[in-house]
Amino acid sequence: MRLVFFGDIVGKAGRTAYLDQLPQLRERLRADLVVVNGENAAGGFGITEDIFRALRDAGTDVVTLGNHAWDQREALTFIGREPALLRPANFPPGTPGNGAGLFTAANGKQVLVMNVMGRIMMDPLDDPFAAVERELTACPLKEVCDACIIDMHAEATSEKMAMGHFADSRASLVVGTHTHVPTSDHHVMAGGTAYMTDAGMCGSYDSVIGMDKEEPLKRFLTKVPKNRFAPAGGPATLSGILVETDDATGLALNIAPIRVGGQLEPAWPGF
């Protein structure tokens, strides 16, 4: 199976590039399932129902979120009727929406996708490791699902790496989001789980992690906020990864980065 994951969509630049290019990218990559993190899709902060529907209509199977999940208040309402929109599974009990789901890929196989959020330098949520253990136990690889993707939305690389090792041999892919910078550590771990500390973002890299440079620079230089952060315009890079899994085990055979357009050096899978 061929699983594609794209990092955080940031603002209009990232959203427009993603929507314009995903249909042809999905075909070129021969993707069976596409997941994207959409928590910065609406002006850099949260997601709206119209944006979610546009992402789905363009060919996205699952949209994950993170610490900006509720920045657009309407998300609290529509997430309950949209099973393909996942918020972190370690939000407290009673939070609207779901943190995991079983989705049918283009080839008919079942893929477990889950979203969890780290706690280091992030909001103090419930234990993400306990949340992942709960979902993996309820839907074990090759017993209930044919593949498993974990979006670890976290600040600390150590916490993301620890989650990779925690889920190794039990998930097809553990991929980090949130920091918006693609890392070069994509590899298949000892137990067969594909791992990457951060998938990067779908947005303009002529920016400060996707935001227009002026306000962040002022805050770093003066420590005085003046205006709201606003997403950067200009050409966007679509950053993500492709993972190929073994149909017999659900574990990873190959992993490779995807970088298309914008400022970053292009990368395209060779398998």
pLDDT tens string 96-107: 999 999 999 999
- Structural domain range at position 18: 2-260
Query: In the predicted model, what is the mean pLDDT of residues 8-34?
Result: 98
Is the pLDDT at 58 greater than 90? The verdict is yes
Whether the Cβ atoms of residue 9 and residue 18 lie closer than 8 Å to each other: yes
Identify whether 266 is part of a domain: no
Q: Domain of 78: which CATH number?
A: 3.60.21.10
Q: Is 238 part of a structural domain of the chain?
A: yes
Statement: residue 48 has pLDDT above 90: yes
Q: Which of the 8 DSSP states describes residue 267?
A: B
Q: Rounded to an integer, what distance in angstroms lies between the CA atom of residue 231 and that of residue 238?
A: 15
Residue 265 lies in a domain: no
Is 271 within the bounds of a domain? no
Catalytic residue among 68, 178, 180, 186: 68
Strands 201-203 and 8-9, sheet pairing? parallel
What's the pLDDT tens digit per position in 123-157?
999 999 999 999 999 999 999 999 999 999 999 99
Task: Give percent above pLDDT 70 in the chain.
Answer: 100
Per-residue pLDDT, averaged over 10-15, amounts to 97
Give the integer Cα–Cα distance in Å for 163 and 183: 16
Q: Tell me how far apart the alpha carbons of residues 61 and 57 are, in angstroms, rounded to a whole number.
A: 9
> Is 83 inside a domain boundary?
yes
Task: Report if residue 256 sits inside a domain.
Answer: yes
- 246 in any annotated domain: yes
* CA–CA distance, 74 with 78 (Å, rounded to integer): 6
- In 3D space, the residue among 145, 143, 150 whose CA is nearest the CA of residue 88 turns out to be 150
Q: Is residue 255 part of a domain?
A: yes
- 18-45 CB burial, b ≥16 within 10 A, e <16: bbebbeebbeebebbbbbbbbbbbbbbb
Is the pLDDT at 226 greater than 90, yes or no?
A: no
Residue 7: its pLDDT value, please?
98
- Report pLDDT for 130: 98
Catalytic annotation present for 165: no
Domains of the chain: total: 1
